[in-house]
Amino acid sequence: MLTTSIGQGLLWAPLVIGVFLTFRILNIPDLTTEGSFPLGAAVTISAMLAGQSAVTASLLGFISGCAAGWVTGMLDTKLKMPSLLAGILTMTGLYSINMHIMGKANIPLLAQKTLMMGLPASWSPDLQTIVVGASVTLMVVIVLIWLFATRLGLSLMATGNNPAMSAANGIYTDRMVIIGYMLSNGLIALSGGLIAQSNGYADIGMGIGTIVIGLASVLVGEIFLHGRQMWVRLTGMVVGAIVYRYLLTLAMGLGFPVNDLKILSAVILVIVICLPLLQNKYRTKRQLRRYLKEIGVDQYATTSHSERTTLTKGLLSGNQQRTARLKGRESND
């Protein structure tokens, strides 16, 4: 079960990194994910059926995702549409495009050689998946670490952190946003192609819920690994993808039906979102008890409910301000 989760998590890792780029780096909620993921699968499988190698087909899937991201970026920056609406429009249009590419709702691989089949046949399917997923994910992480050390990468981060200040310093923010969309959706489509090769087919509905999967994995990764360095953050995304797949596999092992995968994904996302809030409240109450103890006050006997509420709100506000300052430092770095 663990090896299966690691292999599948590594195949999903490019999608998680793609969601991370728009959600965390550009601070943009992008719903194109649910269209670009099946687009990458459709292009990859169709190219393989047309005689292309698995490597070439995967690259074509990546390029198709970049094209989808370019469309969303143009709608966002040039037509001044809200990012959510731009993503929804692109996602809706991609449904028809994917149907035209595949010709039907589901296309299976026949005798085509996938990336996994290029490895020794004596290896188990899980080991083949882990090697392919780790190789692709490692290349993606290395390229992104290099990219964010360049002027272009720094401009991308600056645009997401403060667009107005970036524009005032001569950064063409619209271009940076478009590049961010393209890179993000290219990685998402690449992940779609890898998953399609692993499953042996491409399906028109395989993108449903992928944005929830991506966001949940991003938040899980930030719980396990968080820091200022880009390599730490990207590694956290990979860890988040693996842990998330393990949680789903564990749920399936407990007897949950496959039809409940989507609701389980939503529940995991809710838990991950609420966890920092609960931690903050617990930290605030602990600080309140320590403070009242230091000044010699019995919080239950001599402090009224309204006074405790006022103190709690003050400490909670301080914690939130400290968290905001830390996030601001990470973004600036």
CA 56 to CA 222: how far, in whole Å?
33
Mean pLDDT (whole number) for 20-37:
93
pLDDT of residue 308: 56
pLDDT of residue 323: 55
What average pLDDT does the segment 25-32 reach? Answer: 92
The CATH T-level fold of domain 2-256 is ABC transporter involved in vitamin B12 uptake, BtuC (1.10.3470)
217 in Cβ contact with 12 (< 8 Å): yes
Tell me the angle at which helices 230-253 and 210-224 cross, rounded to the nearest 10 degrees.
120
Q: Summarize pLDDT for 114-145 with one digit per residue, the tens.
A: 999 888 888 899 999 999 999 999 999 999 99
The DSSP-derived string for 149-186 is TSHHHHHHHHHHH-HHHHHHTT--HHHHHHHHHHHHHH
Q: Please calculate the CA angle 8-11-15 and round it to the nearest 5 degrees.
A: 120
The residues near 169 (Cβ < 8 Å, ≥ 6 apart) are: 158
SS (H, E, C) 95-121: HHHHHHHHCCCEEECCCCCCCHHHCCC
Q: Which residues contact 64 (CB under 8 A, 6 or more apart)?
A: 36, 39, 40, 43, 189
Per DSSP, 303 falls in state S
Q: Beta strand pairing status for 201-203 and 106-108?
A: antiparallel
CA distances from 172 to 167, 176, 179 (A): 6, 7, 11
pLDDT digits (tens, 9 = 90+) for 135-190: 999 999 999 999 999 999 999 999 999 999 999 988 999 999 999 999 999 999 99
**Alpha carbon distance 35, 91 (integer Å):** 4
Whether 271 has a pLDDT exceeding 70, the answer reads yes
Nearest in space to 70 (alpha carbons), one of 20, 95, 100, 36: 36
- Would you say how long the chain is, in residues? 333
Tell me the pTM: 0.83
Q: Which two tokens stand for residue 171?
A: 């950064």
Task: Say if residues 61 and 41 touch (Cβ distance below 8 Å).
Answer: yes
More confident: 225 or 10 = 10
Q: Is 236 exposed, middle or buried (0-12, 13-18, 19+ CB in 10 A)?
A: buried
